[in-house]
Amino acid sequence: MKNNKTNICYEYEKKLSPEKIKKEGIVYTPAEIVSYINSSLLLQWKQENEVPPHMCDFSCGTGVFLVDAVEKISSMWNIPLEEAMVYVHGSDTDSDAVRIAQKLLPGANITTQDGFDASLQKIDIVVGNPPYVRIQNLDTSTREIVKNFEWCEGDFDIYVSFIEKAFKNVSYLGFICPSGWLKNKSNKNMRKDILSSQRLYEL
């Protein structure tokens, strides 16, 4: 069920132009999926840890995942919302969206920053809905960046690099993404690493 803060998150998407949505690969996640991903990961974390986790969405938009995460952390660890905000971190290149997230979560660490530059050093859980942009539509500088990712081969989509970054830097992660990586030839390294890690909890 959407609350007022969540509604504000989704109102922004309705105002975006089709050109901006395509260029930046923007897709906002339905509230019920956000809740499911956050709940699944937080319940797993709580089974093994007494303290709340530091959660990050480094393509956070208006903070859909983060608003929900704060509410769940507050409820599960019985702490005030203001205290729970300390545990969430986010970044996005869309400065207008980031300003909304910062206003909704004033105690959180949310910045206007490229997801590739976001630090995951102190992060326990990464969640999100990464951008979807085919390699053919990436600018030159972004193409150079994604060349450093082992999972990005051939005709790939930029969301793969976001998942690789999270996979190789944190123990817990949950993303909503297309299913193409399960069969595409360009995603063979991704499948190999995920399979050999034996970390896949749910698909």
What pLDDT is recorded for position 142?
Answer: 87
What pLDDT is recorded for position 2?
Answer: 54
CA 86 → CA 1, 29, 31, 105, 181, distances in Å?
24, 23, 22, 9, 34
pTM of the shown model:
0.91
What pLDDT is recorded for position 155?
Answer: 81
Sheet hosting strand 88-92, strand order edge to edge: 109-112, 88-92, 55-57, 125-128, 172-175
Contact 156, 85 (CB under 8 A): no
What pLDDT is recorded for position 163?
Answer: 96
The pLDDT tens digits along the chain (203 residues) read 457 888 888 888 888 777 777 777 677 799 999 999 999 999 999 999 999 999 999 999 999 999 999 999 999 999 999 999 999 999 999 999 999 999 999 999 999 999 999 999 999 999 999 988 787 788 888 888 988 899 988 888 899 999 999 999 999 999 999 898 999 988 999 999 999 999 998 99
Q: Tell me, what amino acid is at 74?
A: S
How far is it, in rounded angstroms, from Cα 194 to Cα 192? 6
CA 123 → CA 16, 26, 126, 172, 188, distances in Å?
30, 24, 7, 9, 27
Give the pairing of strands 88-92 and 55-57.
parallel
What pLDDT is recorded for position 45?
Answer: 97
